[in-house]
Structure 1
Amino acid sequence: MPLTSNPLMVPADAPVDYAAVQPAHIVPAISSFIATARAAVERAADPALEPAWDNLVEPVEDAGEQLWRAWSIAGHLNAVVNTAELREAYNECLPLVTEFSTWLGLHTGLYAQYQRLRDGAGFRKLSATRQRIVELALRDFRLSGVQLQGADRERYAQISEQEAQASQKFSENVLDATDQWSLHIEDEARLAGVPEDVRQAAHKAARDDGLAGWKLSLKMPCYLPVMQHARDRTLRETMYRAYATLASEQSGDPALDNSPLIEQLLQLRVQQAELLGYADYAELKLQTRMAESSVQVLDFLRELAARARPYAERDLVELREFAAQNLGLQTLEMWDVPYASERLREERYAYSEETLKPYFTEPRVLQGLCGMIETLFGVRVLPCPMPLWHPDAHALRIETPQGELLGHLLMDLYARTGKQSGAWVDSERSRRRAGSRLRTPIAYLTCNFSAPQDGKPALLTHDDVITLFHESGHALHTLLSEVDDPAAAAFASVEWDAIELPSQFMENFCWEWSVLRSLSAHVQTGEPLPRALYDKLLAARNFQSGMQTVRQIEFSLFDMLIHGRGAALDIRGVLEVLDQVRKEVAVLMPPSWQRFPHNFSHLFAGGYGAGYYSYKWAEVLSADAYALFEEHAGRDADGTRNTLDPETGRRFRKEILAVGGSRPAAESFRAFRGRDPSMEALLRHNGMGSTGL
């Protein structure tokens, strides 16, 4: 197949025809781009070349951007429309890309040129952003092992390739285990309590397989409502057991057991840290974070746990009492917790998630979200026809009020077979200015909501709405960037423990009446969310917030403790650490056969190893940032607080979103807030303020 007809081979500033991309295009495009990038690196690394920004950094960036864009596209397609052919092409390229990336990080000639650039007289004439890019590049060279010699250098390259392969296999095992599991139900009585739209989707899934009855899956749009609403306790236990043992030795398929991959990844990470001279993998990863040490992170998590655990214990006592007195559940098992919690919420606040869903149709929520973004950040958001990878996907154009293009957002919101679970944002390309030409960013926003049924629009839970707002914050971090050099873009250089600031910040607006009113229209009547129902939702905002907080702290402590040691754990040791963490901070103790780590893709396939604490760390930042909007809130005609303050929104855009990674995140936060962050706003938002229980 000629490269000239390959849709991945277009220039970096041209759009990609996703509908035309086939698995056969991936290997030739990636191979060609790697060859081009290698040649450019060798030219830039020539010691006869006097290094300057224009003949060192720019040429390497030029050659690399097409490679990383094509690889981002391949990875995205592999995650959202996975097929055997696509997986084969992606996996064929993975060692090629890993080897190139490792070779680049170990390139002593290029490293020497960056050192000469930094030490030369021209360095001081560069902008502050470009000086930071050079300094970060030198840091990353050192963290990539450029100073290693001989056998250590070869071993580092092997580790990089093996870790990439193991992470990819971990992800594939989770996807395959999820897709391969199903439960065929023929007795409708077993589905008592399950919402009608979930039943309809399960009935369609069975019919598509040529079966009568209903087919249940472990995809979130099916799994979570069944766990929350199914009255059949045995059904809940069956579903919980399947989900809690995914991709483990408990699930029945040895080929999909992630135990050896967890052991391998931990071993490789210990070896990587040792080669680079760090005590452990956590110390290595913290070189690129806001947090200064493992001790600081652990102290932060344990302080938060100490503040939250009394609330979590109260939550659990209330839930157990309610379950025993009202549901006949004298022993509260893990598969009872979502069900009992939803019943308690219904009794206490006289509403359930199912009461809210008819008001949150996907088209209306998107319309309201776009309107809020327009108000807050002074932009326009418009539909934009574009050939994409699946009929469910669609594009939005972000532009200035004068019509100048700022970027594109490519959205894919529904769960389906062959699509990785979860929600995430990634970048197809970053903003870049070359002379008078500006290349605008393109971002992916992916979720796994329930698809439309019977010609009706998709219905979202309030949690779905929060997820959508969260991911939109990530997308805005790249789409509203004013950084002209991609190496200082948000996803390239913002510290990992600050990258969640914009996303968690956006979640706060999902609790504001002025916003929710614009997001809602009943699927049948078109009526907005009633104020009385909103008041119930708001009253329930901190329902079980103590239990939710310690659960996140449990995950974060587990992550830091398995990565914060100089010797790798075997799978038994991993599970023992998890058990110890639960005894320290958790209030709910899962059964001994639960295998949560085997499905923890954030740690073992998603880049969050020794970094899961970032969610809570950044939540402190985001809550404190949102507090400034609360301080400048206005009032609507009915007297309701309105935090959609355009002036504060423009300030957030200018000091947080627009600057990306062009300066340290702590400086950006101080520029916006006027001081260092405080934990108090987070505790207050979670109903755990200084007034106590």
Structure 2
Amino acid sequence: MNPLLDFSGLPRFDAIGPEHVGPAIDTLLADAEAAVKRAQSVSPVTWDSFVVPLDDATEKLWRAWGQVNHLQGVLNSPELRKAYNDNLPKVTRFASALAQNQALFAQYRALAETTDPAALDPARARTLDNALRDFRLGGAELADEAKARFAQIREELASVQARFSENVLDATDEYAFWIKDRQHLSGLPDEVIAASRAAARAEGEPGWKFTLQMPCYLPVQTYADDRALRQTLYQAYAVRASEAGDEKLDNSPLIQKILALRAELAQLLGFASYGEYSLATKMAGSPAQVLEFLRELGARALPYARQDRAELEAFAREALGLQTLEPWDIAYVSEKLKQARYSFSAQEVKQYFTEEAVLGGLFDLIKSLYGVEVVADTAPVWHPDVRFYRLQDADGSLVGQFYLDLYAREGKRGGAWMDDCRNRRQRADRVQTPLVYLVCNFGKGVDGQPATLTHDEVITLFHEMGHGLHALLTAVGELSVSGINGVEWDAVELPSQFMENFCWEWTRLQGMTRHVQTGEPLPRALFDRMIAARHFLSGMQTVRQLEFALFDMALHTEFDPVQDSVMDLLERVRDEVAVNRPPSWHRFPHSFSHIFAGGYGAGYYSYKWAEVLSADAYAAFEEAPDQLADTGARFRAEILSRGGSRSALENFTAFRGRAPSIDALLRHNGMAA
């Protein structure tokens, strides 16, 4: 049996091959199209006669395609890539046709008109409202010619965005820098040297192999005493997928194509810009409101950022003899200044965050907050390093399950993310439990040593687990508003950023640290120095995120490709908020996958928007430190369990008892008055 057609249990990742993709997708598309045809004429239109069978057929297609998409991200190969790209247009065409199907639109309207709103539970009412909205946003009300063009645009966008992501992956994986002389390795952590030596040995070469993968690139920027080595890797990383490298991997024309297609798509629907179109499904009301929010935050942060920059320049000059602070010096000088000022290094702290201790601490926190237990489980996996767990409620019942893929490797796209594999759903005879992927790109232990994580990586892991819990702890039974489905995009980061706060609690760190050599927990004196350094360069870090968010929104609302260039627009944004200016040859947009290949186009501001919500939500725990379980139960009930069954603002207000405030965010970032 084709493993992609087997929905009897967990996905058969150990059996799925590129050869299964086409036949499975063709079968599932045919089934889904037949279900759509039946749904168009069903009468009378009821939830059980219309919505349920339509969900049944389309869910199988999206689950199978989700598995293919997941493998494309974590185990990329030429064969899988071809299978993916061959089938992507077919899947996109079906999605576009579904969104524009006038007969289905009419059936949903009939259902809305003949159903007493009071008789619908909130999840079904929200599902119905979202469906009608999404038909309009999907082009269902367009004239036939415009509808055809709209579908064509969506298909083109899917293809071009996939190529953008592939180019970034290939440009990252293809780069290697070889070092023969050990003196160039001065300052680098032993584990990085060992990993680069192992990488060279794996290719039968002497010396050390350095790549642009994060577990290699970031330590070089942070610790390498060899300024030329830092510059070499910085430049290679900065120009990935641009005209400076392999012409086949240049994302320049793809950026222009993506922007043009998005602008045309928005125009067809009557929006002034793609930014307006994007915000139609978000909390923010307009691009102007987003820009005002970002600029207000920028005005608060910029004085702190300028002070941060001045301190770095002075320290570089006086302590390190660097008369100029170049971009490839910033991480290195920052780490040296932090060591000098707070008497510890990120590398020193890293020795305490052994992988098993961190996971144990994370799982203990989940139990303390929500009364659920994480238990090791078994499942077919796509790589030997992947772990699998189940989440059990207090009575032992299964809540959901998740995969954990922690380590960087070739063929795996960079970054960290959560995605759903199967959503919670109330079926006639049972509850379908959720299943999610949690993916990171940490360094793996070498020579028998356990993996250790930097504190930033610990924060990343907690962040992604927060996303996972949002999907796993939902109590909603309707697919389209279950878990993170139907949640406004600019509120999706609330549960993830909320979890980050616990990485700064002394009682938590005591239980999730164990020195890689001695087994001792993190010393209180070192923790105190970490806390003292918590807001170190926070102004600089804040304006960097604001730079990305302002650029994204301006690009999708104000950009005119005839009169302007992408790089010129970015420079104007930097004039407004940046304190660290990259060189003119830097090509940041060419690898900005969040907005050009992910779901964050005209939505990158969501990180800061949701940070306001998450900081304010965590403040509720600060205000009642002795009521952790009670506050956690309320957070689970009012936010995590609700999914998209009501608005994110309603969820937050039900938990907090009021609208969100920016004050907690400024305080948590050390920028309060």
Check whether the contact 2:308–2:539 (CA below 8 A) recurs between aligned residues: yes
Report the Cα distance in structure 2 between the residues aligned to 1:462 and 1:209, rounded to whole angstroms. Answer: 32
1:685 aligned residue (664, 668, 671): 668
Instruction: Describe how 1:211-230 pairs up with structure 2 within 5 A.
Output: 211-230=205-224
Give aligned pairs, total. 673
Q: Which AA in structure 2 matches 1:431?
A: R
Residue 435 of structure 1 and its aligned partner are, at CA, apart by 2.2
2:668 is equivalent to residue 676 of structure 1: no
**Matched residue, 1:656:** 639
Residue 14 of structure 1 and its aligned partner are, at CA, apart by 1.8
CA 1:432 to 1:571, structure 2 compared with 1: closer, same or farther past 3 Å? Answer: farther
Check whether the contact 2:472–2:483 (CA below 8 A) recurs between aligned residues: no
Q: Which AA in structure 1 matches 2:84?
A: Y
1:166 aligned residue (160, 165, 181): 160
1:319 aligned residue (274, 293, 312): 312
**Matched residue, 2:89:** 95
**Matched residue, 2:263:** 270
CA 1:211 to 1:125, structure 2 compared with 1: closer, same or farther past 3 Å? Answer: same
2:553 is equivalent to residue 560 of structure 1: yes
Residue 20 of structure 1 and its aligned partner are, at CA, apart by 1.0
Q: Which AA in structure 2 matches 1:105?
A: A
Instruction: Describe how 1:562-641 pairs up with structure 2 within 5 A.
Output: 562-565=555-558, 568-569=560-561, 573-634=565-626
**Matched residue, 1:198:** 192
CA 1:647 to 1:124, structure 2 compared with 1: closer, same or farther past 3 Å? Answer: closer
**Matched residue, 2:435:** 442
Q: 1:385-412: per-residue Cα shift (whole Å, max 9, x none)?
A: 1110000101010011221000001010
2:78 is equivalent to residue 84 of structure 1: yes
Q: Which AA in structure 1 matches 2:654?
A: A
Check whether the contact 1:259–1:571 (CA below 8 A) recurs between aligned residues: no
Q: Which AA in structure 1 matches 2:423?
A: S
1:21 aligned residue (2, 13, 16): 16
**Matched residue, 1:9:** 5
Q: 1:211-253: per-residue Cα shift (whole Å, max 9, x none)?
A: 1000000000000000001011111110110001110012x21
Q: Which AA in structure 2 matches 1:687?
A: G
Range with greater deviation from structure 2 (450-459 or 275-284): 450-459
2:483 is equivalent to residue 483 of structure 1: no
2:29 is equivalent to residue 34 of structure 1: yes
Long gaps (5+) in structure 2: none
2:450 is equivalent to residue 454 of structure 1: no
- 1:661 aligns to what SS in structure 2? coil
Range with greater deviation from structure 2 (184-193 or 569-578): 569-578
Report the Cα distance in structure 1 between the residues aligned to 2:540 and 2:360, rounded to whole angstroms. Answer: 33
2:242 is equivalent to residue 248 of structure 1: yes
**Matched residue, 1:513:** 506
Report the Cα distance in structure 2 between the residues aligned to 1:77 and 1:598, rounded to whole angstroms. Answer: 23
**Matched residue, 2:283:** 290
- 1:659 aligns to what SS in structure 2? coil
Residue 490 of structure 1 and its aligned partner are, at CA, apart by 3.2
Q: 1:110-133: per-residue Cα shift (whole Å, max 9, x none)?
A: 000000001114554221210110
CA 1:15 to 1:571, structure 2 compared with 1: closer, same or farther past 3 Å? Answer: farther
Report the Cα distance in structure 1 between the residues aligned to 2:421 and 2:431, rounded to whole angstroms. Answer: 16
Report the Cα distance in structure 2 between the residues aligned to 1:436 and 1:657, rounded to whole angstroms. Answer: 24
Report the Cα distance in structure 2 between the residues aligned to 1:247 and 1:18, rounded to whole angstroms. Answer: 30
Check whether the contact 1:562–1:569 (CA below 8 A) recurs between aligned residues: no
**Matched residue, 1:525:** 518
Check whether the contact 1:319–1:344 (CA below 8 A) recurs between aligned residues: yes
What TM-score do you get using the length of structure 1 for normalisation? 0.96
**Matched residue, 2:39:** 44
Range with greater deviation from structure 2 (539-548 or 48-57): 48-57
1:129 aligned residue (106, 123, 131): 123
Residue 434 of structure 1 and its aligned partner are, at CA, apart by 1.1
**Matched residue, 1:106:** 100
Report the Cα distance in structure 2 between the residues aligned to 1:98 and 1:247, rounded to whole angstroms. Answer: 25
Range with greater deviation from structure 2 (483-492 or 662-671): 483-492
Q: CA RMSD in A?
A: 1.1
Report the Cα distance in structure 1 between the residues aligned to 2:373 and 2:485, rounded to whole angstroms. Answer: 26
Q: 1:285-336: per-residue Cα shift (whole Å, max 9, x none)?
A: 1000000011110000000000000000000000000000011111100000
Report the Cα distance in structure 2 between the residues aligned to 1:652 and 1:78, rounded to whole angstroms. Answer: 34
Q: 1:436-458: per-residue Cα shift (whole Å, max 9, x none)?
A: 30110000000000012111111
Check whether the contact 2:10–2:379 (CA below 8 A) recurs between aligned residues: no
**Matched residue, 1:210:** 204
Report the Cα distance in structure 2 between the residues aligned to 1:318 and 1:385, rounded to whole angstroms. Answer: 51
2:650 is equivalent to residue 667 of structure 1: yes
Q: Which AA in structure 2 matches 1:118?
A: A
2:387 is equivalent to residue 406 of structure 1: no
Report the Cα distance in structure 2 between the residues aligned to 1:600 and 1:534, rounded to whole angstroms. Answer: 34
**Matched residue, 1:370:** 363
Report the Cα distance in structure 2 between the residues aligned to 1:681 and 1:438, rounded to whole angstroms. Answer: 38
Q: Quick one: percent identity of the two aligned structures?
A: 54
- 1:82 aligns to what SS in structure 2? coil
Report the Cα distance in structure 2 between the residues aligned to 1:242 and 1:569, rounded to whole angstroms. Answer: 27
**Matched residue, 2:301:** 308
- 1:428 aligns to what SS in structure 2? strand
Check whether the contact 1:414–1:451 (CA below 8 A) recurs between aligned residues: yes
Check whether the contact 1:41–1:60 (CA below 8 A) recurs between aligned residues: yes
Report the Cα distance in structure 1 between the residues aligned to 2:615 and 2:148, rounded to whole angstroms. Answer: 45
What TM-score do you get using the length of structure 2 for normalisation? 0.99
Range with greater deviation from structure 2 (572-581 or 343-352): 572-581
Report the Cα distance in structure 1 between the residues aligned to 2:607 and 2:333, rounded to whole angstroms. Answer: 27
- 1:492 aligns to what SS in structure 2? coil
**Over 4 Å off, 4+ runs:** none
Residue 570 of structure 1 and its aligned partner are, at CA, apart by 6.6
Check whether the contact 1:263–1:568 (CA below 8 A) recurs between aligned residues: no
- 1:493 aligns to what SS in structure 2? coil
**Matched residue, 1:637:** none
Long gaps (5+) in structure 1: 635-643
Check whether the contact 1:263–1:570 (CA below 8 A) recurs between aligned residues: no
